[in-house]
Copies of this chain bind each other. A is one copy, B any other.
Amino acid sequence: MALKMEAAALQAFLARDFGQVAADFLVDHVDDAGLTLRLAVAERHLRPGGTVSGPSLFALADVAMYLAILSRIGPVALAVTTNCSIDFMRKPAAGRDVLAQARVLKLGRSLAVGDVLLFSEGGTEPVARAGLTYSIPPQQG
Protein backbone atom coordinates (compact mmCIF):
# COMPACT_ATOMS: atom_id res chain seq x y z
CA MET A 1 0.00 0.00 0.00
CA ALA A 2 1.11 3.55 -0.61
CA LEU A 3 2.47 5.39 2.41
CA LYS A 4 0.64 8.57 3.33
CA MET A 5 3.56 9.93 5.37
CA GLU A 6 7.27 9.40 4.81
CA ALA A 7 9.97 9.63 7.49
CA ALA A 8 10.42 13.40 7.21
CA ALA A 9 6.69 14.06 7.47
CA LEU A 10 6.39 11.80 10.51
CA GLN A 11 9.33 13.52 12.18
CA ALA A 12 7.80 16.93 11.52
CA PHE A 13 4.46 15.74 12.91
CA LEU A 14 6.17 14.56 16.06
CA ALA A 15 8.02 17.85 16.48
CA ARG A 16 4.85 19.88 16.09
CA ASP A 17 2.38 17.81 18.14
CA PHE A 18 4.65 16.12 20.66
CA GLY A 19 7.39 18.70 21.07
CA GLN A 20 8.18 17.59 24.61
CA VAL A 21 9.42 14.16 23.53
CA ALA A 22 10.22 14.68 19.86
CA ALA A 23 13.95 15.03 20.52
CA ASP A 24 14.01 11.53 22.02
CA PHE A 25 12.73 9.75 18.92
CA LEU A 26 14.14 9.58 15.40
CA VAL A 27 12.42 7.86 12.49
CA ASP A 28 15.20 5.75 11.01
CA HIS A 29 13.18 4.12 8.29
CA VAL A 30 9.63 3.58 7.09
CA ASP A 31 8.30 1.49 4.25
CA ASP A 32 5.42 -0.87 3.41
CA ALA A 33 6.70 -3.46 5.85
CA GLY A 34 6.87 -1.18 8.86
CA LEU A 35 8.76 1.53 10.69
CA THR A 36 12.01 1.68 12.64
CA LEU A 37 12.19 4.25 15.42
CA ARG A 38 15.29 5.14 17.40
CA LEU A 39 15.37 6.15 21.04
CA ALA A 40 18.31 8.53 21.33
CA VAL A 41 19.24 7.35 24.80
CA ALA A 42 20.06 10.11 27.29
CA GLU A 43 20.53 10.31 31.02
CA ARG A 44 16.81 10.82 31.61
CA HIS A 45 15.97 7.41 30.10
CA LEU A 46 18.16 5.43 32.46
CA ARG A 47 17.48 3.37 35.54
CA PRO A 48 19.98 2.85 38.34
CA GLY A 49 22.78 0.73 36.90
CA GLY A 50 22.70 2.52 33.59
CA THR A 51 20.07 0.44 31.82
CA VAL A 52 17.23 2.00 29.85
CA SER A 53 14.11 2.18 32.03
CA GLY A 54 10.92 0.22 31.41
CA PRO A 55 8.79 3.35 30.89
CA SER A 56 11.30 4.58 28.29
CA LEU A 57 11.04 1.26 26.42
CA PHE A 58 7.26 1.39 26.70
CA ALA A 59 7.24 4.94 25.31
CA LEU A 60 9.47 3.87 22.43
CA ALA A 61 7.18 0.96 21.50
CA ASP A 62 4.11 3.16 21.82
CA VAL A 63 5.44 6.00 19.65
CA ALA A 64 6.81 3.55 17.07
CA MET A 65 3.40 1.93 16.60
CA TYR A 66 1.69 5.33 16.54
CA LEU A 67 3.95 6.56 13.75
CA ALA A 68 3.65 3.27 11.84
CA ILE A 69 -0.13 3.73 11.85
CA LEU A 70 0.13 7.38 10.81
CA SER A 71 2.38 6.38 7.91
CA ARG A 72 -0.63 4.45 6.59
CA ILE A 73 -3.54 6.74 7.44
CA GLY A 74 -2.01 10.20 7.54
CA PRO A 75 -1.75 12.73 10.38
CA VAL A 76 -4.61 11.73 12.69
CA ALA A 77 -3.61 13.29 15.96
CA LEU A 78 -6.40 11.70 17.93
CA ALA A 79 -5.53 8.03 17.63
CA VAL A 80 -5.08 6.72 21.17
CA THR A 81 -3.49 3.60 22.62
CA THR A 82 -6.10 1.31 24.15
CA ASN A 83 -3.92 -1.68 25.04
CA CYS A 84 -0.27 -2.57 25.26
CA SER A 85 1.13 -5.90 26.34
CA ILE A 86 4.89 -5.71 26.68
CA ASP A 87 7.42 -8.43 27.54
CA PHE A 88 10.79 -7.30 28.89
CA MET A 89 13.26 -10.00 27.93
CA ARG A 90 16.82 -8.71 28.29
CA LYS A 91 18.62 -5.76 29.74
CA PRO A 92 19.33 -3.15 27.08
CA ALA A 93 23.04 -2.66 26.48
CA ALA A 94 24.44 0.33 28.35
CA GLY A 95 25.36 3.34 26.27
CA ARG A 96 23.52 2.33 23.13
CA ASP A 97 20.43 3.64 21.42
CA VAL A 98 17.42 1.36 21.31
CA LEU A 99 15.70 0.62 17.99
CA ALA A 100 12.04 -0.34 17.66
CA GLN A 101 10.78 -2.26 14.64
CA ALA A 102 7.03 -1.77 14.36
CA ARG A 103 4.64 -3.44 11.95
CA VAL A 104 0.93 -2.89 11.49
CA LEU A 105 -0.97 -6.20 11.47
CA LYS A 106 -4.48 -4.82 11.15
CA LEU A 107 -5.76 -1.46 10.09
CA GLY A 108 -9.50 -1.47 10.59
CA ARG A 109 -12.00 1.36 10.58
CA SER A 110 -11.87 1.87 14.31
CA LEU A 111 -8.98 -0.27 15.60
CA ALA A 112 -5.38 -0.75 14.51
CA VAL A 113 -3.26 -3.60 15.87
CA GLY A 114 0.45 -4.19 15.53
CA ASP A 115 3.56 -5.42 17.22
CA VAL A 116 7.02 -4.11 17.98
CA LEU A 117 10.42 -5.66 18.60
CA LEU A 118 13.03 -3.60 20.49
CA PHE A 119 16.78 -4.06 20.05
CA SER A 120 19.84 -2.36 21.47
CA GLU A 121 21.64 -0.90 18.46
CA GLY A 122 23.93 -3.52 16.97
CA GLY A 123 22.30 -6.33 18.95
CA THR A 124 20.55 -9.30 17.37
CA GLU A 125 18.46 -10.46 20.30
CA PRO A 126 15.40 -8.39 21.20
CA VAL A 127 15.34 -6.63 24.58
CA ALA A 128 11.54 -6.41 24.53
CA ARG A 129 8.48 -7.12 22.46
CA ALA A 130 5.07 -5.52 22.55
CA GLY A 131 1.63 -5.89 21.00
CA LEU A 132 -0.41 -2.69 20.82
CA THR A 133 -3.94 -1.66 19.90
CA TYR A 134 -4.89 1.85 18.88
CA SER A 135 -8.38 3.29 18.64
CA ILE A 136 -8.80 5.43 15.53
CA PRO A 137 -11.41 8.17 15.72
CA PRO A 138 -14.15 8.17 13.06
CA GLN A 139 -13.19 10.21 10.01
CA GLN A 140 -14.74 13.64 9.80
CA GLY A 141 -17.00 14.12 6.81
Contact = CB atoms under 8 A, between A and B. Distances in A.
A89 interface: yes
A59 B55 contact: yes
Given A55-B55, A55-B59, A105-B126, A86 B83 contact: yes
A80 interface: yes
A83 to B, nearest CB: 5
Interface residues of A, number: 41
A130 B113 CA distance: 12
B129 A115 contact: yes
B89 A113 contact: yes
Contacts of A131: 85, 87, 115, 129-131
Nearest to A43: B20
A81 B105 contact: no
Contacts of A86: 83-85
Interface string A104-120: 01101011010101000
Q: Which 3 A-B pairs have the closest CB atoms?
A: A85-B85, A55-B59, A89-B106
